[in-house]
Structure 1
């Protein structure tokens, strides 16, 4: 009870700050809530700041003033445009993750506790903080063997603070479900639980190290892409040590020109790197914004910061590929059928009607260069279509779509003339041919043929065992001894059964 009162106090404090920016019950959403809540919203807006700003912009400003957990909450909200809408997700995506750094002596104490080594024992040199965010800060250091590394250290007490803040969020979600009927469809309690789980993963830097290692392995054969190596013996739950790579930010167009980087080629590489991860590997960097990519001295694309990752199972990857490929070929019936085959749209709807709805999304954008195409608006329209057909989107696919919007924006900054469809087509086509097309059918047929041959070779043993069982039935009952069961199983598998003494029966 006492803890609930404390959580309620945190919630009231957060509500007052949100109200200061008209982000508690924004005027734009007032018609959607019950009258008592609408009146509360009107009162809360007295003296509010941020006039002339969009709801997402006001919310971003409000969250930025409340501390690390709230900043992270806003960033995680930005990954769920299906819930908050693409405009708000885009506004929250610009939420600056910059916080004052904690002192160097505190950082060194954290390292000593995490690694059982003093910074003097672990490193030849150790810098002041070079970047500080809501969850952690980064230092540049040199190992005793001369290698330069980036050392990421969690903020002191961040785990406990995040746990308390998310507990308050959960209380707010329960209140929202109780008070606001339209909010129930959004399942705020389930949503906060998802965000809390995601934050817990991000607060264990060993998992981030594992993600970096897995992405590096998956992309090892992709030319022009590089992922820093993890220094495992200098990594723990609260400290991540990773290879330092000098480079120029991909947002620095003048720097790219100075290095002679082929910017159209780089933009295509960014997009294809994302598609390679999502389609072929099923594990993708879900935070591929400009700050997490740069170009090294050899002209290679470098990915960093693997705190937010997405994973897709084989079915989700196949459906995603079929939908994208359907749009690329303007085969909207195929794209619609992929939705139905996956069970995303209920059978009582018409495939043809859904295909027509998808055509209304695809035709206005087909063949346009990136400078004439806003993918966030396209996906918002796609979400509107799926809402009409009562389609329930899977969270991992929404995260994938959100990441696509971010990657599209990055590619467009590098090369405003990039043609997204032409760039995506080879990667998607290769996946389709490998997993869905004739090559996949041939591979499956070969596997089926091998299984059929094994069954054919085992048929005599299987027939003999079945005949013996039938004879037992005729003689008054079937008694399956361990040996009989072994013979039947061995016959099905195509092996000769062994006697109890180990000899062939």
Structure 2
């Protein structure tokens, strides 16, 4: 219940934020009104001793969230995907919130597995290890499947994590309500919507069946991608609180020295990480939305292995085309076209001036493209783009923010492997291929085929629809239809037939 009983939890939270120095950093990043800052710090400063001390070696906000526990760590991870809310610098700090919690006992994990899967551990797995990784929601153990003899990774939810999250989410909603009441200016940041988004993401991660489904879909999409792989899920040994995948050996993407020592080409790997992300986002419309170093390994054969599928991104076909055209416009320095795409998609209000918007985009792109290749940054471009679109009244689009945020993270991984990588040159072939196949004449034919297929479904029903229309007209004792209405009926019937024919022909041509 989102009521006053949450006040103690919020007091402890505020005290921790003040004690660790996170209060000032967070308010600066979110541009909180001065009066609200003074009031908040005046209230919590005398009671900061009630807060957790945290790890002084960490940045203030990361230190505070880590000290406050799993829900706060996960909240920080989600906020790292919203630079429009917390600012680019703070979003970058929050991205380090991964695998920061101590593991829970091995015995508790075994108890969860036996309860969830309905069999003793020995009947399912052998050599069940101590935790090999522990995050805010779950931890991972290595074991051997007794049926196949193969090594597997077993992900197990933390005991009581659902209840803990519900309690803290209630407190978050209560805090959002208080902030909106006390500071009307903060409503532009939509605190309630941010918490609602967080709750939706967390609810998805608290059911490992959903993550298993994401992993399976992602694996099916990328099965033929050379140099990229996704572990397979064992559905017979997975449930709501347990997920079993094939074990994959590899070097963590963050350990560049080990990757070099193993003889891998880091330049090629850096290109591959970026190109694979773009290919998945544009080709499939389904991408790994948390591709940081900790979720990527380099296998012995040099292929990239993706892990942890709790946060995935999805784009419909129209949004993919818009995004590709925006990227392609920047690559070609065609700022006028980039501006037009924003207006055509409705991202920028129609009453704004397209030429002025194009000039603003020119001012964003030119300084960046004039840099040395090693300094050309997609992250900087996206940061400036956020500022420009906000100035022109572009509303926040969650799906694009998640895509852009992931792109920034992927750029960081690519640069760690190859500091001199030219992000735009690497992206060019993927974007160009997509544009050729999805925006040009072939795309028109494909769209016609899809339209014809949809209209063809109604072909057998056209006589009944016409008869029903005539009966209804007779019942209403209306005069004979005007010629224009007969023309409309004829056009509908003829158009459906023609569209169906076109769809059939185009479908044959494309096969």
Instruction: Report TM bin, short chain.
Output: 0.7 to 0.9
Residue 123 (structure 1) aligns with: 125
For residue 151 of structure 1, give the secondary structure of its aligned residue in structure 2: strand
**275-284 vs 152-161, which deviates more?**
275-284
- Give, in whole Å, the separation in 1 of the partners of 2:345 and 2:212: 33
Shift of 1:493: 6.2
For residue 59 of structure 2, give the secondary structure of its aligned residue in structure 1: helix
- Give, in whole Å, the separation in 1 of the partners of 2:96 and 2:328: 30
Residue 3 (structure 2) aligns with: 4
Q: 1:177 to 1:494 in 2, by over 3 A?
A: same
Q: 1:175 to 1:470 in 2, by over 3 A?
A: closer
Residue number among 181, 187, 190 corresponding to 1:187 in the alignment: 190
Residue 355 (structure 1) aligns with: 358
Answer whether contact 2:141 2:155 (CA < 8 A) is retained: yes
Q: TM-score, normalised to structure 2's length?
A: 0.85
* Mapping of residues 86-485 of structure 1, within 5 Å: 86-144=88-146, 145-366=148-369, 368=371, 371-445=374-448
Q: 1:367 to 1:120 in 2, by over 3 A?
A: farther
State the number of aligned residues.
482
- Give, in whole Å, the separation in 2 of the partners of 1:293 and 1:315: 29
Answer whether contact 1:108 1:119 (CA < 8 A) is retained: yes
- Give, in whole Å, the separation in 2 of the partners of 1:46 and 1:9: 15
For residue 127 of structure 1, give the secondary structure of its aligned residue in structure 2: coil
Shift of 1:28: 3.7
Answer whether contact 1:455 1:492 (CA < 8 A) is retained: no
Shift of 1:452: 10
C-alpha RMSD of matched pairs (Å): 3.6
Residue 485 (structure 2) aligns with: none
Answer whether contact 1:201 1:207 (CA < 8 A) is retained: yes
Q: TM-score, normalised to structure 1's length?
A: 0.86
Residue 69 (structure 1) aligns with: 71
- Give, in whole Å, the separation in 1 of the partners of 2:472 and 2:107: 78
Larger of the two Rg values belongs to structure: 1
Gapped runs of 5+ residues in structure 2?
50-57, 482-490, 499-511
- Give, in whole Å, the separation in 2 of the partners of 1:180 and 1:471: 62
Provide, for residues 263-301 of structure 1, a one-character-per-residue CA deviation record: whole Å limited to 9, x for no partner: 111111100111111111111111000111111122111
Shift of 1:361: 1.2
Q: 1:75 to 1:283 in 2, by over 3 A?
A: same
Residue 82 (structure 2) aligns with: 80
Shift of 1:441: 2.1
For residue 365 of structure 1, give the secondary structure of its aligned residue in structure 2: helix
- Give, in whole Å, the separation in 2 of the partners of 1:87 and 1:382: 15
Shift of 1:154: 0.4
- Give, in whole Å, the separation in 2 of the partners of 1:283 and 1:475: 52
- Give, in whole Å, the separation in 2 of the partners of 1:65 and 1:446: 56
Answer whether contact 2:98 2:136 (CA < 8 A) is retained: no
Gapped runs of 5+ residues in structure 1?
50-55, 479-487, 496-505
- Give, in whole Å, the separation in 1 of the partners of 2:317 and 2:405: 19
